[in-house]
A = this chain, B = another copy of it.
Amino acid sequence: MHRTRVKVVEEALDANNTIARANREDFDRHGVTVVNFMSAPGAGKTTLLERVVSDLDGIRVGVLEGDVQGSMDADRLADLHVPVTQLNTDSGFGGECHLDANMVRSALPALPLAQIDLLLIENVGNLVCPAEFSVGEDRRVMVSSVTEGEDKPLKYPLMFRTCDLVLINKIDLLPHLDFDLDRFLYHLDQVHPDVERFLVSARTGEGLGQWRDWLTAVVSPEGALA
């Protein structure tokens, strides 16, 4: 139906992968582990970052905030005294709906790569396009809020299929929802069998220890912190 368009998308993706590799080399040279953090709007990405960034023992964290417009999330995270860089995508008409490798590359000079061990990139809130663009990350984490319903893995399969960890957030609301957790997990395993997943509540703190330990292990796989 849109065959000519598909070709253009594939070419754009090749260019993206070339730049993502260049980013990867820069991150490696500085010994920085990079996590690309994605979700739908309002799933709780920023709060889940707020709850861990100041509490990762011995790991120096930096944050790159992707938003269509504004710096509300960056301001929240800067309050926690970690270096935060804002990247706005609104130079197009309504703004780009994702980060790509070139946008991240344009932000590299503003990032204190020599002073951090872990870079957390908060992508634009969107379950479609962010999954299509590598930015040179080591790991992909996605947040799925239980308020969004059990069908989301089936409706946005690429996002769920390409991530390394799913944080199932807002579980404090489960008693007040018609959300069938078993059904969600069944759908998740259909698109990404056995992907790692933690049940968390950014609000109550439940499950955040696992999330913190996962990040720590990604930076220091042998558990040997500097």
Chain A residues within 8 Å of B, Cβ to Cβ: 1-3, 5-6, 9-10, 13, 40-42, 67-70, 72, 91-97, 102-103, 106, 124-129, 131-132, 145, 147-149, 151-152, 154-159, 170, 172-173, 176-178, 203
Interface centre among A13, A95, A152, A156 (most CB of B within 10 A): A156
* A173 / chain B contacts, CB cutoff of 8 Å: 147, 173, 176-177
- Among A40, A69, A172, the most chain B Cβ lie within 10 Å of the Cβ of A40
Tell me, rounded to whole Å, the shortest Cβ–Cβ distance linking A160 to chain B: 11
Contact A91 B6 (CB under 8 A): yes
B13, B127, B157, B158: the one contacting A41 at CB < 8 Å is: B127
Q: How far is the CA of A69 from the CA of B42 in the complex (A)?
A: 22
A103: chain B residues at CB < 8 Å are 1-2
Tell me whether A93 and B1 are in contact in the complex, defined as CB-CB below 8 angstroms, given that A41-B127, A151-B72, A154-B70 are known contacts. Answer: no
How near does chain B come to A146, taking the closest CB pair, in angstroms?
9
Would B147 and A170 count as touching, CB distance under 8 A? yes
Instruction: Across the interface, name the chain B residue whose C-beta is closest to A88.
Output: B1
- Closest chain-B Cβ to A60's Cβ sits at a distance in Å of 28
Are the C-beta atoms of A95 and B125 separated by less than 8 Å?
no
Give the distance in Å from the alpha carbon of A6 to the alpha carbon of B94 in the complex.
10
Are the CB atoms of A94 and B40 closer together than 8 Å?
no
**How far is A129 from B95 in the complex, measured between Cα atoms in Å?**
8
